[in-house]
Structure 1
Amino acid sequence: MEAAPRPREVSAELSQGLENLLLGEAPTLTRNDVVEQAGIDLGTASALWRLLGFPTVPEEAVAFTPMDVEALRASAELMRLGIVSIESQAALVRTLARSFARLAEWQTRLLAEIRIQNDATDAEHLALVEQALPKIEAFQDYVWRRHLASASAGLMTSEASAASGELLAIGFVDIVGYTSQSKKLDQGELIAWIESFEAAVTEVVVDHGGQVIKTIGDEALFVTTDPRSAAEIALVLTARGRDENDEFPAVRAGIAYGNVVRRLGDVFGPTVNIASRLTSVARPGTVVADRGVHEVLCRDHAPEETRADDLVLRRIPNVSVKGYGKFDCWVVRRAKG
């Protein structure tokens, strides 16, 4: 059996070469140079740098390029145009920083793995990155614009509706026995397992017209415009988890319907909290819904067991949910026959 290639050490030359390539050129400016050229006060620039999650560098360090100057100018221009207010700037920048930091870490690991597999020299690796970088950048821009177009079509609402929120169905899908299962896997296996879970959930959610808001390790949060779609997504995923021939893990789900506030790609409000709490009520392989879902699916009926087309909703009375006391919820199942 042929041994796997041993990774080459990352030399100072390769590290510096990658930095120069990614920043567009070698750093030539200090922090004060950037502030002076951008025409922004040092306090504002430093605050923006911290919000972006970038490491603090000594005042005299030559660590910046004209790209940093242009970024500060663009930030100031967005505020001047009213696109980004002083109040919203911090939250927006933090959200951008978290998203791109995660993306950058994944892309860096991918390039590092390719370098190891190819047993590439420093020059060969730099050439590969230089060739791939414009394509990655263009693809990221394309994905962003497509998501922006999709979000704009659905979220260009009035100030009143934006303030009060919008009616959405919220779903949480949680892996059963995640802690015990994760202990049996090495780092690579655990990453592959989680990525497979995220990919499967995203595929089902998108196929049913929903949107994955975020995944947090063993849990995924998604939204749909109607409870029926949310129930269908949850039922498909829990059914896959019960199938011993399917590699998808066993899961449980909680869904709720009501007013939700969207902000910077996330969702907030009691409806979100209730859906999350209901995952702890759900048994492995089951879906539990709140009254909002029941009222839409079953309208004016509230017996112990209610049919909604091909679904059956069985009431669980007086469930105690942390932060909300006792309330009724329903187990959602497909009707037999």
Structure 2
Amino acid sequence: MAGPAGPTASGAGDRAGRVEELILGEAPHLNRVQVSEQAGVPLELARELWRLLGFAETTDDVLAFTRADVDALRLSAELTSLGVLSDDSQAALVRTLGRSFARLAEWQTTLLARVATAHLVPGSDEDPVEALAELTAEVLPRVEQLQAYTWKRHLATASSRLLDVSGGSTEPGEPGEAVLPQAVCFVDIVGFTSRSKSLREAELVAWIEAFEDASSSIVLDHGGRIIKNIGDEVLLLADDPVVAAEIALEMTRRGSDPDDAFPEVRAGIAYGAVVLRLGDVLGATVNVAARLTSLARPGTVLVDEGAHAHLLALDEASEQAAYTFRRPPRASVKGYSRLQPWVLRRA
């Protein structure tokens, strides 16, 4: 069974143990065998769950666990008995939880450490670890409450969206998956590599954060949702291709404005069946959208035949067309020898 932390040395280890005790609610006093027995979970299963969560392996004589670990194992067993965690979905779900919270914890710890250090009086004998411990005790309950609220709100939104799009049913998929018609859009910064070489580290971070912040605002304001930021690229989803089209056109418009700090971008949109799995998206529609983005010229939006057909049908049904389309030659890209893109513009 793995553990959140291994044995600590004296000195700095004792001070770090104080922070650990504040976060976990008590000092670690159980080994992996005791946790397994008290939770009523086989040791091998307990070891596998903690490994999937991303914690390091410990030996039977290391006291690395608390009653919170017992409760977590017991809850996992209860979810399994209720059918929420099946053998097929358990590993993927636990691994995703572990990775997501590990990244969040790294960022939060760095932020707390910076704040704690900033409050130290220069030349004093104050211990930064003690300052971090005190700040953690003050901040942790508030962060925990905010995280729980944010999760529940997103859970409610995702549940409503699934029912609205699917009518209460989805295409068959693996456990923990849903297959739904979605518009997938990639938006990519033009010339990112050359620009990033001329920036210092702090400037690069500020530039990317400004891009992510502006992109998030545009996507949310139009009713889309960001799946992930990949450095210089944003992957987003929309239930309706019109929403994806409006988002992509707004981003390319801003990127083409010399008076706007938003970087020049290009975009690709595909519409079709998408596998929604553990917060990520998979399938041919996603691949096509990525390929279209690589083909798009700076400041342009390319759409696939599925998105084109949907948008064209809306234009034909309305009194005034919202978009114009230009069909360039078919393209040959990896995995798609005759991909037909369409250049999308506002009418």
TM-score in terms of structure 1 length = 0.90
Aligned length: 322
1:84 aligns with 2:85: yes
Q: Check the 8 A contact 1:298/1:308 in 2, yes or no.
A: no
Partner residue, 1:314: 326
Distance 1:171 1:42 in 2: 44
Cross-structure match for 2:225? 211
Q: Which moved more, 1:89-98 or 1:239-248?
A: 239-248
Counterpart mapping for 1:171-182 below 5 A: 171-182=185-196
Q: CA deviation at 1:327?
A: 2.4
Structure 2, unmatched stretches of 5+, are: 1-10
Deviation of residue 237 (structure 1)?
0.9
Q: CA deviation at 1:80?
A: 0.4
Measure, in 1, the Cα distance between the counterparts of 2:74 and 2:56: 20
CA contact (8 A) 1:172 1:221 kept: yes
Tell me the CA shift for residue 300 of structure 1.
9.6
In the alignment, the residues of structure 1 paired with residue 161 and residue 198 of structure 2 have an alpha-carbon distance, to the nearest angstrom, of: 43
* Match for residue 243 of structure 1 among 253, 257, 273: 257
AA aligned to 2:69 is D
DSSP 3-state at the match of 1:333:
strand
Aligned match of 1:16: 17
SS at match of 2:235: strand
Partner of 1:145: 152
Offset of residue 261 of structure 1: 1.5
Equivalents in 1 of 2:53, 2:281: separation in Å? 22
- Provide the residue aligned with 1:102 in structure 2: 103
1:299 matches 2:313: yes
1:145 Cα deviation after fit: 0.3
Tell me which residue corresponds to 1:57. Answer: 58
Q: Which residue of 2 aligns with 1:30?
A: 31
1:200 aligns with 2:207: no
Say which of 171, 175, 197 aligns to 1:161: 171
How far does the alpha carbon of each residue in 1:114-168 deviate from its partner, in whole angstroms, 9 at most, with x for none?
A: 1232226343332221111100000000000000000111214555535482111
Q: Please tell me whether the aligned partners of residues 162 and 261 of structure 1 are also in contact (alpha carbons under 8 angstroms).
A: no
Instruction: Return closer, same or farther for 1:255/1:308 CA change in 2, 3 Å cut-off.
Output: farther
SS in 2 for 1:215: strand
CA distance in 1, matches of 2:197, 2:51: 35
Q: CA deviation at 1:314?
A: 0.9
Q: Which amino acid aligns with 2:23?
A: L
d(CA) in 2 for partners of 1:114, 1:140: 20
CA distance in 1, matches of 2:106, 2:341: 41
**Contact 1:297 / 1:308 at 8 angstroms: preserved in 2?**
no
**What whole-Å deviation, never above 9, does each CA across 1:204-259 have from its counterpart, x for those lacking one?**
11111111111111111101011111011001111122222222222111001111
Q: Distance in 2 between matches of 1:226 and 1:301?
A: 14
Displacement after TM superposition at 1:322 (Å): 1.4
Moved more, 36-45 or 12-21: 12-21
Determine if contact 1:174/1:218 at 8 Å carries over to the other structure: yes
2:90 aligned partner, one-letter code: Q
Question: Which runs of 5 or more structure 1 residues have no equivalent in the other structure?
Answer: 1-9
Residue 94 of structure 1 deviates from its aligned partner by 1.2
Q: 1:115 to 1:300 in 2, by over 3 A?
A: closer
Alpha-carbon distance between aligned partners in 2 of 1:191 and 1:53, rounded to the nearest angstrom: 27
Q: Verify the 8 A CA contact 1:29 1:65 in the aligned structure 2.
A: yes
Q: Please name the residue that 2:341 is paired with.
A: 329
CA contact (8 A) 2:326 2:343 kept: yes
Find the partner of 2:291 among 277, 290, 305: 277
SS at 2:329 equivalent: strand
Percent of matched pairs sharing the same residue: 53
Residue 96 of structure 1: CA displacement? Answer: 0.9
Paired residue type of 1:161: E
45-54 vs 196-205, which deviates more?
196-205
How far apart, CA to CA, are the structure 1 residues paired with 2:202 and 2:102? Answer: 20
Determine the structure 2 residue equivalent to 1:261.
Answer: 275
Secondary structure of the 2:237 match is strand
